[in-house]
Amino acid sequence: MFDRMNLQVLANHARGAAENMAHTLHRTAHSAFVKETEDFTVMLLNRKGETFAVPMDLGATWYPGLTFGRAIEMIEDYKPGDVGFTNDAYSSYVATHTPDTVLWRPVFYDGEIIAWTGGHIHNTDMGGAVPASLSRALTEIHQEGLRFPPMKLVNEGVFDEHLMRIMSINVRKPDLNVGDLKALVGALITGERKILAMIEKFGKDAFLDGVEALLDHSEAQARDVLASIPDGTWDFSDYADEDSTEANPVRLKLKLTVKGDEAILDFTGSDPQLASSLNVPTGGDPRHSVLLVGIYYILYTLNPKLLLNVGMTRPFTCITPEGSVLNPVHPAAIGMRSLTCARLRSVIFGAFSQAIPERLPAAPAGNNCIVNVMTTDERTKRTVIAAVNPVVGGGGGMPHRDGTNGSGADAAYLKNTPIEITETETPVEFVRYGLAKDSGGAGRWRGGLATEMAFRVFAPDSRITARNRDRSFFRPWGVLGGKAAGLSDMVVNPGTDDERHLGNIDTALLQPGDVLEIHSAGGGGRGHPFDREPWRVLRDVERQYVSVDAAEREYGVVLRGGQIDEAATAARRADRAMVEGHFDYGPERTGYEAQWTPEAYDQLHCILNSLPIHWRFFIKTEIFRRMEGRSGAAGVQEAFDAVCKRFPEVPRTDNTLKAAAE
Amino acid sequence: MDGAFTPDANEKRPADWKIGVDIGGTFMDFCALEANSGRVASLKVLTTPDDPGAELMTGLSLLAEREGLEPEAVNRFVHGTTVGINTIIQRKGASLALFTNAGFEDVVEMARLRMPEMYSLFCARPDPLITRDMIFGIPARLRSDGTETQAPDMAAVAAAVDVARAKGAEGIIISFLHAWRDARQEAAVKAEIARLAPELFTFTSAEVWPVIREYERSSTTIMNGYVHPRVAGYLTALESRLANHKVPARPMLTKSNGGLMNAAEGKRSCVNMLLSGTASGVIGAAWLARQAGEEKILTLDIGGTSADFALIIDGEAQFGTGELIGEFPLYIPSVSVSSIGVGGGSIASVDSQGVLRVGPESAGSIPGPACYGRGGTEATVTDAMAVCGWLGHSQMAYGQLQMEVDLAREVISRLAAKLGRSTEETAQAILDVAISEMFVEVEKLSSRAGVDLRDFTLMPFGGGGPMLGVFLAKELGMARVMASRRPGVVSALGGLVADLRGDFIRTIFEPLEPATLAALGAAYDDLASEGRDWLVSQGHDGPAELRITADMRYAGQSYEIEVALNVAWLTEKNLTAIAQAFHDTHDRIYDFHDPEGLIEVVNLRLAAIGAGPALKFPEAAEVEGAATPLREVRVFTGGRLQDIGLYRRQDLAPGGIFDGPAVVAQEDTTFAIPAGTRASVDRHLNLHLTFAE
């Protein structure tokens, strides 16, 4: 019924509507989260609540494949002018942490709902244990602020004053929340008007058909990409540095199976849910948008004309065992799921990198660290709370160029704040803001450099938080002979007698005159560094990206007085070690996996899976405490036996015993 | 000669010619007015990229030949040039070094971090115009309050000068943190370089544009230095060419802010002319709109590779910062123009799923659309127009291009075969897709600005604007279209009618409270005397108009809005009026304001404007009556082939009325007018289109 020759016209009208909604929200919102960080989304939804159009210029990149159906269905009897909302992950899995409030509004035509407009904003604060409602240390969702299951926020154009009052009294910045919610409702109304204009132009039936054709088209594009990937199965694991204050690694594991134009992403073997807020709530939805963000990047990278909507998720099936970090059960805390999501993306990138090594880059730095300062202005004696620059690292080496320096790949949306603005508003003084030499993974195509930032404070008890810090132990990996990148770190008073390395800790307390230096990880290298043209290596040295020592050590390029020593370089490069395996992980992970072998992890998960969910994280932690001097599957079993001796209450089952026998 | 007016034979006064010249990708456009007689002439000449400036002389000779223009009688000569912007796009600028604070050498490369393509793992920032090996960190530091914690290390400066010179630097850019607060560190380093290496040109960030935000200020200064040698060389050659041609007028240059400056300033403040072409198009459009009594306009300028849009509100162009120069944002005040990479040369294709797309690939101006017969082999938007029958009924571009419709049919029919549709249906679908691409861009523009386009009139210009403009207006639900008599030379006209305009800025960055008023007053006094001095230096002897605005925000916001101020509020220290103006402006732009909110003044700005000559273009009396078509032509429109009227623009007299579907052909463009449209001609020969409900 819909003339396919006009599909691009409909796609453009739909995108135009979504862009209009995004700019309207961006223009009328109140909070820095929406206006500056652009942590919001808007979308057009079909009758079933499936996203069919999103903006490409503004907003977050996480939800073009989001389906609102579950939340929509939890409310009955929609009337024109109603708006539904929720910020509770566990009731419908449409919101994914408490600050994110998701709204949707029916579009009526001829007395029936023919579409929806939807979107979300990240509220500055939703109440709970800590300002901004986010902290890694929180252990259950009840500490993460006020929760609303799906219900009507607006009844026939009138805001529910009871709900607004309940929210306002419970949150720390009610004006911002109210202002942003009203701005989002305004954007939803704009979207509704645009949808009605589309129906006017195309006709109701053609519009309804056309919307489904847009989803089908996106699906066909995704299937084309998958069909271009050889069939096969690839395993990949990656680790977040710390699972809680106890600081054991979190492993995410993926078995990717591509068959024809479909793919299965089996996350079985990922760690059990954590007693920290790093869990990612998905409800086990096989196509949950938050699981597929890495997929969006891969599809779009391989086909930049990809239409972004729910259709592209259809060829994918995700398996996330209940009670795991990727499918936690209530009341696991979830506020800082964005850290885990960065690892989730790198796991997906790693699996696909093996399938199509010639078409994808090495690992991006993958630590999107957001730095906040709370200090006292000595002139006004006032407390100042301010966001300083994000400290993110470079992209991975690409098939035909170096990774981008300082940011890139899946962190390309982040913006910094001018130093002059920060120094004028906040009593801190920058000592350094720039790129870190030798931090990009060496390779035929070098990984992008890390960012390093150092600043001084002037007031006592200045508190710094650096959310989402990671990659201080497990490096961004290199591929195809390329090397892993430099690690992230946070150091107080570097280069002085009282220098303190904080590793992966994400908070610091500073005293007058103290300097805090934060640097990110870099991007992984791609291809053997000895294959990099010497002139590029020389240029990197001239640009201070690579040191003379590293040029010789990593790249085999010998420089003398600023010139390439051709003979010495040839000699150095003749002595070239064989590269084993697709990945270079760096010595830390290699060392870790000598103790924590795949078999050891299998054994660990075998044991944990035999236990009730609420025992698993506890037992994981206790086993890790007893791994000193132990390794492999047998070591894990010994450690577990020791745990059971200390805690005879461990509810062992037949499966636990079977695990021991294996 | 295309004017409908003949000079008065009894006129004895000496001729007084005023000429606007603007250069685009393919053509140099001329718009000339003989002020005594009101005689208007326009012309397009193919550009000569190998010898920039030569086409100018060709044009003057042709105007002399065809219109009787005497070079000695040219008393105003306004020029818009793309020499600067092309230098950046083609990366052919000067070899530069940057001296900045040690520890902050990477600011230029890191920019503001964010990259344009958010979903691509291959996204990248542009390579900076100065690479890291030519950036020299000088130990030096100012605090934000202007306290110097470390004076510039002159030994480091000397060492850096040696290395920069050895590496072939032609000039040095100096940009230090907090130079917006105190320019003395930069000035000291500049003086030292002048002493050590007088042959190197230098620009400091504070002298180019002293605004807070180190990346934006540095990058603007770098662009200025990067284009400086080429622009200065071009302008020197231009001056001598005009002098040799016996043109008495000293050339004036169009600026990105829509105003003018003289050539001497253009050689140093090169960055101010980077976007002059698009800016003077909007200025020309605004002038035409005011003349026709239109207040709210959406301009649409379609060229070969792109479509540019701008809003005119209350008859005035809108200003902004962050306009793109190639890949680099420009942070000086510029006329706001949105651009999308879809134009007459955009290529249509059918993807592997059988979906028809248009762009982003373009056939550009060479080889151009297939129907230009210059070797193009891909189906473009212009070819689709030709296949539908809208084009090919007259000479194009003042006779410099011939339309070969058969070549267009050939390329479009290949796509038609893939789609299984007729050639005409396919051509129409290409136009629909191209228009829908522009629709997305305009949706963004109007929602950013918070305006309802149903209140606006579309003004298409450029070679391609009139081809597609009416279709786009209908798509956007706009009620009216207005087209000037010479849509092909609106930018040249914009230069002709522009005023002198210099922009000046002081960063204040203080809360709006009584204690700040003294600083505001002092900053205003400084800016006002700078502005007046500037106008004098430009040779302006008329009254000066000083417009004062402030960039303000609520504390905690990280972006500012520009608020128009009344000078009296500053001199009389009227805090309430200033605050109220900010609240009102915030409410107008963002739909809310916060009466309790603490306000900060980030910058004070002043525009010094010296009005140009009050040019009077002739008017003719309207005579109501139906216009007569030249003949009928066959056009595919409304889903079928129809015989519709072809009108010649020069035949359309004031008061003439006709209905679509119709084609209006003229020497610089062609109007496609679909059914359901009524066209009428006003006293200025503008064409006004309205749509039936």
In the numeric block, which tokens belong to residue B115?
A: 């990259």
Helix (H, G, I), strand (E, B) or coil at A31: coil
Give me the pLDDT at residue A325, please.
Answer: 97
Residues A643 and A514 reside in one and the same domain: no
Dihedral class, residue A23 (left if φ above 0, else alpha if ψ from -120 to 50, else beta): alpha
Residues A465 and A370 reside in one and the same domain: yes
Residues A460 and A602 reside in one and the same domain: no
Give me the domains of chain B, ranges plus CATH numbers: 1-80 (3.30.420.40), 88-231 (3.40.50), 500-610 (3.30.1490), 634-691 (no CATH)
**Rounded percentage of chain B residues whose pLDDT exceeds 90:** 73
For an interface test with B, the pick among A3, A4, A10, A12 (most B C-beta atoms closer than 10 Å) comes out as A12
Nearest-Cα distance to chain B for A193, in Å, is 12
Angle, alpha carbons B409-B413-B419 (nearest 5°): 150
In chain A, positions 487-516, which contact chain B (CB-CB < 8 Å)?
Answer: none
Residues A542-583 have pLDDT tens digits of 999 999 999 999 999 999 999 999 999 999 999 888 888 999
Q: What is the mean pLDDT of residues A323-329?
A: 97
In-domain check, residue A420: yes
**Residue carrying the six token digits 């089952």:** A653
Q: Is B548's pLDDT higher than 70? A: yes
Give me the pLDDT at residue A57, please.
Answer: 84
Give me the pLDDT at residue B4, please.
Answer: 40
Q: What is the mean pLDDT of residues A304-326?
A: 97
Q: Which of A423, A280, A406 is nearest to A340 (CA)?
A: A280
Put simply, whether A382 touches B (Cβ < 8 Å) is no
CB contact under 8 A, B212 and A405: no
Phi and psi torsions of B80, nearest 5°: -115, 130
Give me the pLDDT at residue A512, please.
Answer: 96
Residues A523 and A600 reside in one and the same domain: no
In-domain check, residue A302: no
Q: Which of B418, B400, B403 is nearest to B370 (CA)?
A: B403
**Residue carrying the six token digits 């000078």:** B567
Q: What is the mean pLDDT of chain A?
A: 94
Q: What is the mean pLDDT of chain B?
A: 91
Alpha carbons A256 and A351: distance in angstroms, whole number = 6
Per DSSP (E only), the strands in A74-160 are 83-86, 100-109, 112-122, 151-155, 158-159
Residues A25 and A145 reside in one and the same domain: yes
Nearest-Cα distance to chain A for B261, in Å, is 31
Put simply, whether B106 touches A (Cβ < 8 Å) is yes
Alpha carbons A181 and A30: distance in angstroms, whole number = 9
Torsion angle defined by CA atoms of residues B670, B674, B677 and B679, in that order, rounded to the nearest 10 degrees: 20
In chain B, positions 204-223, which contact chain A (CB-CB < 8 Å)?
Answer: 212-216
Where is pLDDT greater, at B588 or A436?
A: A436
Number of H helices, E strands in chain B: 17, 36
Angle, alpha carbons B2-B4-B10 (nearest 5°): 110
Work out whether strand A462-467 and strand A507-510 pair parallel, antiparallel, or are unpaired.
Answer: antiparallel
> Which range among A266-275, A367-376, B105-114, B563-572 shows the weakest confidence by mean pLDDT?
A367-376
Alpha carbons A113 and B62: distance in angstroms, whole number = 65
CB contact under 8 A, A404 and B125: yes
Q: Which of B175, B181, B169 is nearest to B152 (CA)?
A: B175
Where does a domain end: A220, A236, A257?
A220
In the numeric block, which tokens belong to residue B403?
A: 């339309």
Q: Is A661's pLDDT higher than 70? A: no
In the numeric block, which tokens belong to residue B5?
A: 């007016």
Residues A610 and A515 reside in one and the same domain: no
In-domain check, residue A124: yes
Q: Is A196's pLDDT higher than 70? A: yes
Give me the pLDDT at residue B6, please.
Answer: 45
In the numeric block, which tokens belong to residue B601?
A: 């003044």
Where does a domain end: A220, A243, A277?
A220
Residue numbers of the domain that contains A523: 362-528
**Residue carrying the six token digits 């279709």:** B471
In-domain check, residue A313: no
Question: Which residues, in sequence order, are CB contacts of A659 under 8 Å at separation 6+?
Answer: A603, A606, A607, A610, A637
Put simply, whether A357 touches B (Cβ < 8 Å) is no
Given a contact cutoff of 8 angstroms between Cβ atoms, the answer to whether A154 and A185 are in contact is yes
Task: Report CA A561 to chain centroid distance, whole Å.
Answer: 44
Residues A523 and A654 reside in one and the same domain: no
Residues A612 and A522 reside in one and the same domain: no
Q: What is the mean pLDDT of residues B318-341?
A: 88
Q: Please count the structural domains in chain A.
A: 3
Q: How confident is the model at residue A662 (pLDDT cuts 50, 70, 90)?
A: low
Dihedral class, residue A600 (left if φ above 0, else alpha if ψ from -120 to 50, else beta): alpha
Q: In chain B, which residues have their Cβ closer than 8 Å to the Cβ of A25?
A: none
Helix (H, G, I), strand (E, B) or coil at B690: strand
User: B27: part of which helix (H) or strand (E)?
Assistant: strand B27-34
Work out whether strand A369-376 and strand A462-467 pair parallel, antiparallel, or are unpaired.
Answer: antiparallel
In-domain check, residue A71: yes
Q: How confident is the model at residue A295 (pLDDT cuts 50, 70, 90)?
A: very high
Given a contact cutoff of 8 angstroms between Cβ atoms, the answer to whether A466 and A518 are in contact is yes
Residues A629 and A484 reside in one and the same domain: no
In-domain check, residue A427: yes
pTM (2 d.p.): 0.93
Residues A510 and A367 reside in one and the same domain: yes
What are the residue ranges of helices labelled H in A47-202? 69-73, 89-92, 161-170, 174-202
Q: Is A647's pLDDT higher than 60? A: yes
Residues A10-27 have pLDDT tens digits of 999 999 999 999 999 988
Given a contact cutoff of 8 angstroms between Cβ atoms, the answer to whether A475 and A525 are in contact is no
Q: What is the mean pLDDT of residues A412-431?
A: 92
In-domain check, residue A561: no
Q: What is the mean pLDDT of residues A499-524?
A: 93
Given a contact cutoff of 8 angstroms between Cβ atoms, the answer to whether B658 and B688 are in contact is no
Residues B430-478 have pLDDT tens digits of 999 999 999 999 999 998 888 899 999 999 998 889 999 999 999 999 9
Residues A476 and A620 reside in one and the same domain: no
Residues B487-504 have pLDDT tens digits of 988 999 999 999 999 999
Q: How confident is the model at residue B9 (pLDDT cuts 50, 70, 90)?
A: very low
Alpha carbons B252 and B494: distance in angstroms, whole number = 13
Give me the pLDDT at residue B7, please.
Answer: 45
In-domain check, residue A87: yes
Put simply, whether B447 touches A (Cβ < 8 Å) is yes
Where does a domain end: A220, A250, A282?
A220
Residue among B115, B444, B556 whose CB faces A412 most closely: B115
Residues A519 and A379 reside in one and the same domain: yes
Give me the pLDDT at residue B399, please.
Answer: 61
Q: Which of B45, B614, B15, B24 is nearest to B344 (CA)?
A: B24
Most confident of A120-129, A264-273, B622-631: A264-273
**Rounded percentage of chain A residues whose pLDDT exceeds 90:** 85
